[in-house]
Homo-oligomer: A and B are copies of this chain.
Amino acid sequence: MSQSRQDTARSDEPNRLANIVSKIFAGQSGNTSLSICLSNDASAALMAGADAQDDCAVFRMTGAQELVVGSDYVRGPKFRLYELGLLNDYDVGYYLVTANVSDIAAMGARPIGVVTVVRYPPDMTDDTFAQVMCGIRDACRRFSAPNVGGDIGGAERLILSATALGVCLPGHALFRHGARPGDVVCLTGPTGIAGAAMSYFRSGTRSALVEDKHREQLLTSWSRPNARVREGVCLGDSGMVTSCQDTSDGLKAAIESVAAASGVGMVIDERRLPIAPEVAAVCECLDLPVPPVMFGDSVDFELLFSVPRDRLTPLTGLFSAQGFRFHAIGEVTSAPDVVLRQSDGRHVPLPGVAWRHQSDSPAVPLAT
Protein backbone atom coordinates (compact mmCIF):
# COMPACT_ATOMS: atom_id res chain seq x y z
CA MET A 1 0.00 0.00 0.00
CA SER A 2 1.52 3.34 -0.96
CA GLN A 3 1.52 6.31 1.35
CA SER A 4 0.97 9.83 0.11
CA ARG A 5 3.64 12.43 0.76
CA GLN A 6 1.38 14.03 3.33
CA ASP A 7 1.32 10.87 5.41
CA THR A 8 5.06 10.61 5.69
CA ALA A 9 6.20 14.25 5.60
CA ARG A 10 8.08 15.47 8.64
CA SER A 11 8.58 19.24 8.51
CA ASP A 12 10.92 21.02 10.88
CA GLU A 13 9.64 23.38 13.55
CA PRO A 14 9.51 26.65 11.55
CA ASN A 15 7.58 24.91 8.77
CA ARG A 16 5.20 23.21 11.19
CA LEU A 17 4.55 26.62 12.74
CA ALA A 18 4.01 28.29 9.40
CA ASN A 19 2.13 25.54 7.57
CA ILE A 20 0.20 23.66 10.26
CA VAL A 21 -0.13 25.64 13.49
CA SER A 22 -0.74 29.05 11.91
CA LYS A 23 -3.29 27.64 9.51
CA ILE A 24 -5.19 25.72 12.16
CA PHE A 25 -5.37 28.81 14.35
CA ALA A 26 -5.74 31.44 11.61
CA GLY A 27 -7.79 34.55 12.25
CA GLN A 28 -7.44 34.65 16.03
CA SER A 29 -5.55 37.88 16.50
CA GLY A 30 -7.86 40.81 16.97
CA ASN A 31 -10.94 38.61 16.50
CA THR A 32 -13.51 40.47 18.57
CA SER A 33 -15.68 37.39 18.99
CA LEU A 34 -12.93 36.03 21.24
CA SER A 35 -13.20 39.00 23.63
CA ILE A 36 -14.54 38.40 27.09
CA CYS A 37 -16.67 41.20 28.48
CA LEU A 38 -17.05 40.86 32.25
CA SER A 39 -18.87 44.13 32.83
CA ASN A 40 -19.23 47.54 31.23
CA ASP A 41 -15.74 48.35 32.41
CA ALA A 42 -13.85 45.08 32.48
CA SER A 43 -12.85 43.04 29.46
CA ALA A 44 -10.08 40.87 28.01
CA ALA A 45 -9.48 40.89 24.27
CA LEU A 46 -7.01 38.79 22.31
CA MET A 47 -4.69 41.04 20.31
CA ALA A 48 -2.04 38.53 19.21
CA GLY A 49 -2.75 34.80 19.17
CA ALA A 50 -1.11 31.67 17.78
CA ASP A 51 -1.47 32.99 14.24
CA ALA A 52 0.77 35.98 15.04
CA GLN A 53 3.80 33.69 15.51
CA ASP A 54 5.36 35.97 18.08
CA ASP A 55 7.12 34.81 21.22
CA CYS A 56 4.00 35.44 23.27
CA ALA A 57 0.29 35.96 23.02
CA VAL A 58 -1.02 39.40 23.97
CA PHE A 59 -4.36 40.28 25.56
CA ARG A 60 -5.69 43.80 26.06
CA MET A 61 -7.15 43.97 29.57
CA THR A 62 -9.35 46.82 30.71
CA GLY A 63 -10.93 47.48 34.08
CA ALA A 64 -10.73 45.65 37.38
CA GLN A 65 -10.71 41.87 37.10
CA GLU A 66 -9.07 38.76 38.43
CA LEU A 67 -6.73 36.82 36.18
CA VAL A 68 -6.64 33.08 36.89
CA VAL A 69 -3.73 30.96 35.61
CA GLY A 70 -3.18 27.23 35.94
CA SER A 71 -0.92 24.67 34.31
CA ASP A 72 -1.26 20.94 33.77
CA TYR A 73 0.95 18.37 32.15
CA VAL A 74 -0.91 15.34 30.83
CA ARG A 75 0.62 11.93 30.33
CA GLY A 76 -1.07 11.66 26.95
CA PRO A 77 0.79 8.93 25.09
CA LYS A 78 1.52 7.32 28.46
CA PHE A 79 -2.19 6.93 29.15
CA ARG A 80 -2.92 3.23 29.38
CA LEU A 81 -5.85 3.59 26.98
CA TYR A 82 -3.55 5.23 24.43
CA GLU A 83 -1.10 2.40 24.82
CA LEU A 84 -3.99 -0.02 24.32
CA GLY A 85 -4.86 1.72 21.06
CA LEU A 86 -8.19 3.01 22.38
CA LEU A 87 -7.13 6.66 22.24
CA ASN A 88 -5.38 8.38 19.35
CA ASP A 89 -3.27 11.51 18.93
CA TYR A 90 -6.30 13.72 18.34
CA ASP A 91 -7.78 12.45 21.61
CA VAL A 92 -4.74 13.27 23.73
CA GLY A 93 -4.61 16.78 22.25
CA TYR A 94 -8.26 17.18 23.17
CA TYR A 95 -7.62 15.84 26.66
CA LEU A 96 -4.79 18.31 27.24
CA VAL A 97 -7.16 21.25 26.80
CA THR A 98 -9.93 19.79 28.95
CA ALA A 99 -7.57 19.11 31.85
CA ASN A 100 -6.29 22.67 31.76
CA VAL A 101 -9.59 24.42 31.22
CA SER A 102 -11.12 22.45 34.08
CA ASP A 103 -8.81 24.22 36.52
CA ILE A 104 -10.11 27.58 35.29
CA ALA A 105 -13.69 26.34 35.67
CA ALA A 106 -12.96 25.25 39.23
CA MET A 107 -11.86 28.80 40.04
CA GLY A 108 -15.15 30.21 38.75
CA ALA A 109 -13.49 32.04 35.85
CA ARG A 110 -14.18 32.39 32.13
CA PRO A 111 -11.37 30.98 29.98
CA ILE A 112 -9.68 33.54 27.72
CA GLY A 113 -7.03 31.30 26.24
CA VAL A 114 -4.77 28.29 26.45
CA VAL A 115 -1.05 28.08 25.64
CA THR A 116 0.11 24.59 24.74
CA VAL A 117 3.44 22.81 24.73
CA VAL A 118 3.53 20.06 22.12
CA ARG A 119 6.90 18.34 21.77
CA TYR A 120 7.05 15.44 19.36
CA PRO A 121 9.37 12.56 18.58
CA PRO A 122 11.56 12.77 15.46
CA ASP A 123 9.44 10.19 13.64
CA MET A 124 6.09 11.94 14.14
CA THR A 125 4.71 12.87 10.73
CA ASP A 126 3.11 16.20 9.90
CA ASP A 127 -0.17 14.36 9.60
CA THR A 128 -0.02 12.98 13.13
CA PHE A 129 1.22 16.30 14.49
CA ALA A 130 -1.74 18.00 12.81
CA GLN A 131 -4.08 15.50 14.48
CA VAL A 132 -2.76 16.49 17.91
CA MET A 133 -3.21 20.16 17.04
CA CYS A 134 -6.73 19.55 15.71
CA GLY A 135 -7.69 17.81 18.95
CA ILE A 136 -6.38 20.87 20.78
CA ARG A 137 -8.26 23.21 18.45
CA ASP A 138 -11.56 21.38 18.76
CA ALA A 139 -11.47 21.19 22.54
CA CYS A 140 -10.56 24.89 22.62
CA ARG A 141 -13.60 25.62 20.49
CA ARG A 142 -15.85 23.58 22.75
CA PHE A 143 -14.76 25.57 25.77
CA SER A 144 -14.46 28.94 23.99
CA ALA A 145 -10.81 29.10 25.05
CA PRO A 146 -8.63 29.84 22.01
CA ASN A 147 -5.21 28.21 21.80
CA VAL A 148 -3.18 31.40 21.68
CA GLY A 149 0.31 29.97 21.33
CA GLY A 150 2.88 27.93 23.18
CA ASP A 151 5.83 25.85 22.16
CA ILE A 152 6.36 23.14 19.59
CA GLY A 153 9.54 21.23 18.93
CA GLY A 154 11.30 17.93 19.30
CA ALA A 155 11.59 15.50 22.19
CA GLU A 156 12.10 11.79 22.51
CA ARG A 157 8.35 11.20 22.69
CA LEU A 158 5.12 13.22 22.50
CA ILE A 159 5.10 15.54 25.53
CA LEU A 160 1.97 17.57 26.24
CA SER A 161 1.60 20.41 28.70
CA ALA A 162 -0.49 23.56 28.76
CA THR A 163 -1.48 26.63 30.70
CA ALA A 164 -5.01 27.99 30.77
CA LEU A 165 -5.96 31.58 31.52
CA GLY A 166 -9.29 32.89 32.71
CA VAL A 167 -10.86 36.01 34.10
CA CYS A 168 -13.61 36.87 36.54
CA LEU A 169 -14.82 39.96 38.32
CA PRO A 170 -12.92 41.02 41.45
CA GLY A 171 -13.82 38.91 44.46
CA HIS A 172 -15.41 36.18 42.35
CA ALA A 173 -12.53 33.72 42.03
CA LEU A 174 -13.32 30.50 43.90
CA PHE A 175 -10.79 28.82 46.18
CA ARG A 176 -10.56 25.60 48.15
CA HIS A 177 -10.36 27.32 51.49
CA GLY A 178 -13.73 28.97 52.08
CA ALA A 179 -16.06 26.11 53.12
CA ARG A 180 -17.84 26.79 56.42
CA PRO A 181 -19.63 24.49 58.85
CA GLY A 182 -23.27 24.16 57.85
CA ASP A 183 -22.56 24.67 54.12
CA VAL A 184 -23.99 22.12 51.74
CA VAL A 185 -21.46 20.05 49.76
CA CYS A 186 -22.42 19.79 46.08
CA LEU A 187 -21.22 18.00 42.97
CA THR A 188 -21.97 18.79 39.32
CA GLY A 189 -22.19 15.17 38.19
CA PRO A 190 -21.29 11.55 38.83
CA THR A 191 -17.68 10.56 39.36
CA GLY A 192 -15.72 7.38 38.85
CA ILE A 193 -16.40 7.06 35.13
CA ALA A 194 -12.82 7.58 33.96
CA GLY A 195 -11.58 5.23 36.68
CA ALA A 196 -14.19 2.62 35.77
CA ALA A 197 -13.14 2.94 32.14
CA MET A 198 -9.55 2.29 33.11
CA SER A 199 -10.50 -0.78 35.14
CA TYR A 200 -12.76 -2.08 32.42
CA PHE A 201 -10.45 -1.69 29.46
CA ARG A 202 -7.40 -2.87 31.39
CA SER A 203 -9.23 -5.98 32.55
CA GLY A 204 -8.98 -7.39 29.07
CA THR A 205 -12.71 -8.15 29.10
CA ARG A 206 -13.44 -5.38 26.66
CA SER A 207 -15.14 -7.58 24.10
CA ALA A 208 -18.79 -7.12 25.03
CA LEU A 209 -19.29 -7.55 28.73
CA VAL A 210 -20.92 -4.16 29.20
CA GLU A 211 -23.50 -2.84 26.78
CA ASP A 212 -22.20 -0.86 23.81
CA LYS A 213 -23.74 2.38 25.07
CA HIS A 214 -21.87 2.03 28.36
CA ARG A 215 -18.66 1.11 26.60
CA GLU A 216 -19.01 4.25 24.50
CA GLN A 217 -19.58 6.44 27.55
CA LEU A 218 -16.57 4.93 29.26
CA LEU A 219 -14.37 5.70 26.29
CA THR A 220 -15.81 9.19 25.87
CA SER A 221 -14.70 10.07 29.40
CA TRP A 222 -11.13 9.82 28.06
CA SER A 223 -11.50 10.70 24.39
CA ARG A 224 -13.85 13.71 24.72
CA PRO A 225 -13.68 14.67 28.39
CA ASN A 226 -15.83 17.59 29.41
CA ALA A 227 -14.75 20.48 31.61
CA ARG A 228 -17.58 22.15 33.53
CA VAL A 229 -16.78 25.58 32.19
CA ARG A 230 -20.27 27.04 32.02
CA GLU A 231 -21.14 25.59 35.42
CA GLY A 232 -17.93 27.06 36.88
CA VAL A 233 -18.76 30.49 35.48
CA CYS A 234 -22.26 30.19 36.95
CA LEU A 235 -20.78 29.32 40.35
CA GLY A 236 -18.30 32.19 40.21
CA ASP A 237 -20.82 34.75 38.98
CA SER A 238 -23.37 33.71 41.60
CA GLY A 239 -21.26 35.05 44.47
CA MET A 240 -22.85 32.35 46.62
CA VAL A 241 -20.24 29.63 46.59
CA THR A 242 -17.75 29.36 49.46
CA SER A 243 -15.27 26.85 47.97
CA CYS A 244 -14.71 24.86 44.81
CA GLN A 245 -12.35 22.33 43.26
CA ASP A 246 -12.54 19.96 40.34
CA THR A 247 -12.48 16.20 40.83
CA SER A 248 -9.53 15.60 38.53
CA ASP A 249 -7.67 13.86 41.36
CA GLY A 250 -10.76 11.83 42.27
CA LEU A 251 -13.74 12.69 44.47
CA LYS A 252 -12.08 11.57 47.69
CA ALA A 253 -9.02 13.74 47.01
CA ALA A 254 -11.22 16.74 46.18
CA ILE A 255 -13.27 16.40 49.35
CA GLU A 256 -10.21 15.94 51.54
CA SER A 257 -8.41 18.82 49.92
CA VAL A 258 -11.28 21.31 50.28
CA ALA A 259 -11.88 20.18 53.87
CA ALA A 260 -8.21 20.50 54.80
CA ALA A 261 -7.81 23.91 53.12
CA SER A 262 -10.96 25.17 54.84
CA GLY A 263 -10.14 23.64 58.25
CA VAL A 264 -13.45 21.80 58.37
CA GLY A 265 -14.86 18.29 58.06
CA MET A 266 -17.56 16.87 55.80
CA VAL A 267 -20.25 14.24 56.03
CA ILE A 268 -21.03 12.84 52.59
CA ASP A 269 -24.35 11.05 52.23
CA GLU A 270 -23.98 7.82 50.25
CA ARG A 271 -27.64 7.81 49.21
CA ARG A 272 -27.30 11.23 47.58
CA LEU A 273 -24.30 10.45 45.41
CA PRO A 274 -25.15 10.37 41.71
CA ILE A 275 -24.17 7.03 40.18
CA ALA A 276 -23.35 6.85 36.47
CA PRO A 277 -24.97 3.83 34.80
CA GLU A 278 -21.68 2.90 33.17
CA VAL A 279 -19.96 2.84 36.57
CA ALA A 280 -22.65 0.55 37.92
CA ALA A 281 -22.30 -1.65 34.83
CA VAL A 282 -18.51 -1.94 35.16
CA CYS A 283 -18.74 -2.68 38.88
CA GLU A 284 -21.24 -5.43 38.18
CA CYS A 285 -19.18 -6.79 35.34
CA LEU A 286 -15.91 -6.81 37.31
CA ASP A 287 -17.51 -7.59 40.66
CA LEU A 288 -16.26 -4.38 42.25
CA PRO A 289 -17.98 -2.40 45.02
CA VAL A 290 -19.32 0.91 43.64
CA PRO A 291 -18.24 3.47 46.30
CA PRO A 292 -14.46 3.00 45.97
CA VAL A 293 -14.78 3.50 42.23
CA MET A 294 -16.79 6.71 42.68
CA PHE A 295 -14.43 8.16 45.28
CA GLY A 296 -11.10 6.82 44.13
CA ASP A 297 -8.54 7.56 41.47
CA SER A 298 -10.68 8.77 38.56
CA VAL A 299 -10.12 11.90 36.49
CA ASP A 300 -13.67 13.17 35.93
CA PHE A 301 -13.49 16.98 35.83
CA GLU A 302 -16.69 17.44 37.80
CA LEU A 303 -16.87 20.37 40.23
CA LEU A 304 -17.13 19.87 43.97
CA PHE A 305 -18.27 22.99 45.79
CA SER A 306 -19.83 24.26 48.99
CA VAL A 307 -22.68 26.71 49.38
CA PRO A 308 -24.43 28.09 52.48
CA ARG A 309 -27.67 26.22 53.08
CA ASP A 310 -29.81 29.34 52.60
CA ARG A 311 -28.33 29.87 49.11
CA LEU A 312 -29.05 26.36 47.91
CA THR A 313 -32.43 27.20 46.40
CA PRO A 314 -31.36 30.36 44.56
CA LEU A 315 -28.26 28.60 43.22
CA THR A 316 -30.37 25.68 42.04
CA GLY A 317 -32.55 28.22 40.25
CA LEU A 318 -29.55 29.82 38.54
CA PHE A 319 -28.37 26.41 37.37
CA SER A 320 -31.81 25.32 36.16
CA ALA A 321 -32.22 28.53 34.19
CA GLN A 322 -29.16 27.51 32.17
CA GLY A 323 -30.14 23.89 31.83
CA PHE A 324 -27.58 22.57 34.34
CA ARG A 325 -28.00 20.70 37.56
CA PHE A 326 -25.98 19.72 40.57
CA HIS A 327 -26.31 17.25 43.42
CA ALA A 328 -26.29 18.13 47.12
CA ILE A 329 -24.21 15.26 48.50
CA GLY A 330 -23.41 16.23 52.07
CA GLU A 331 -22.67 18.86 54.66
CA VAL A 332 -19.69 20.75 56.00
CA THR A 333 -18.99 20.12 59.69
CA SER A 334 -16.87 21.86 62.28
CA ALA A 335 -15.48 18.50 63.37
CA PRO A 336 -12.46 18.00 61.12
CA ASP A 337 -13.28 14.45 60.03
CA VAL A 338 -14.31 13.61 56.50
CA VAL A 339 -16.72 10.68 56.55
CA LEU A 340 -19.25 8.80 54.45
CA ARG A 341 -22.70 8.30 55.94
CA GLN A 342 -23.70 4.91 54.57
CA SER A 343 -27.24 3.89 53.70
CA ASP A 344 -27.45 2.10 57.06
CA GLY A 345 -26.61 5.33 58.89
CA ARG A 346 -23.10 4.28 59.90
CA HIS A 347 -20.23 6.74 59.43
CA VAL A 348 -17.14 5.28 57.75
CA PRO A 349 -13.97 6.77 56.25
CA LEU A 350 -14.28 7.76 52.60
CA PRO A 351 -13.64 4.71 50.44
CA GLY A 352 -11.31 4.62 47.48
CA VAL A 353 -7.67 5.54 47.08
CA ALA A 354 -6.80 9.11 46.18
CA TRP A 355 -4.64 9.69 43.15
CA ARG A 356 -1.21 10.76 44.28
CA HIS A 357 0.59 11.33 40.98
CA GLN A 358 3.67 9.60 42.30
CA SER A 359 4.77 8.25 38.96
CA ASP A 360 3.75 6.73 35.71
CA SER A 361 3.39 3.38 37.43
CA PRO A 362 0.09 1.50 37.07
CA ALA A 363 -2.90 3.00 38.83
CA VAL A 364 -3.52 2.00 42.41
CA PRO A 365 -6.15 -0.69 43.05
CA LEU A 366 -9.68 0.63 42.98
CA ALA A 367 -11.05 -1.54 45.77
CA THR A 368 -10.42 -0.46 49.36
Binding site for B on A (CB under 8 A): 12-14, 44, 47-48, 52-73, 75, 78, 103-104, 106-107, 109, 113, 115-117, 119, 121-122, 148-156, 159, 161-163, 165-166, 170, 173, 175-177, 245-246, 261, 356-361
Instruction: Please determine whether A66 and B58 come into contact, CB atoms closer than 8 angstroms.
Output: yes
Residues of B within 8 A of A52 (CB): 175, 177
**Copies of this chain assembled into the complex:** 2
Q: Which residues of B contact A359 (CB under 8 A)?
A: 121-122, 154-155
Contact A55 B357 (CB under 8 A): no
Q: Is the CB of A159 within 8 A of B73?
A: yes
Kindly state the separation between the CA atoms of A65 and B62 in the bound complex, as whole angstroms: 6
Q: Point out the residues of chain B lying under 8 angstroms from A68, CB to CB.
A: 56-58
Q: Of B64, B163, B177, which is within 8 A of A69 by CB? A: B163
A356 CA to B12 CA, complexed, in Å:
6
B115 touches A53 (CB 8 A): no
Shortest CB-to-CB span from A92 to chain B, Å, is 15
C-alpha spacing A333/B115, complex, angstroms = 34
Q: Decide: A71 near B360, CB < 8 A? Known: A53-B261, A62-B64.
A: no
Contact between chains at B75 and A155 (CB < 8 Å): yes
A55 touches which of B57, B107, B119, B162 (Cβ 8 Å): B107
With the chains together, A196 CA to B55 CA distance in Å? 24
CB neighbours of A48 from chain B (8 A): 173, 175
Residue pair A357, B154 in contact (C-beta under 8 Å):
yes
**Nearest CB of chain B from residue A59's CB, rounded to whole Å:** 4
Contact A115 B70 (CB under 8 A): yes
Interface centre among A48, A58, A68, A163 (most CB of B within 10 A): A163
Asked if A67 and B54 make an inter-chain contact with CB atoms under 8 angstroms apart, the answer reads no
Collect the chain B residues with CB atoms within 8 Å of residue A58's CB. 66-69, 107, 173
Residue among B64, B103, B161, B246 making CB contact with A73, cutoff 8 Å:
B161
Nearest B residue to A148, CB-CB: B69
Do A72 and B357 contact each other (CB < 8 Å), given the known contacts A65-B61, A103-B56, A107-B58?
no
Which of A57, A73, A156 counts the most chain B CB atoms within 10 A? Answer: A73
Judging by beta carbons under 8 Å apart, are B176 and A54 in contact?
Answer: yes
How many Å lie between the Cα of A163 and that of B68 in the bound state? 13
Q: Which residues of B lie under 8 Å from residue A55 when comparing CB positions? A: 70, 103, 106-107, 176, 245-246
Query: What is the chain B residue whose CB lies nearest that of A70?
Result: B56
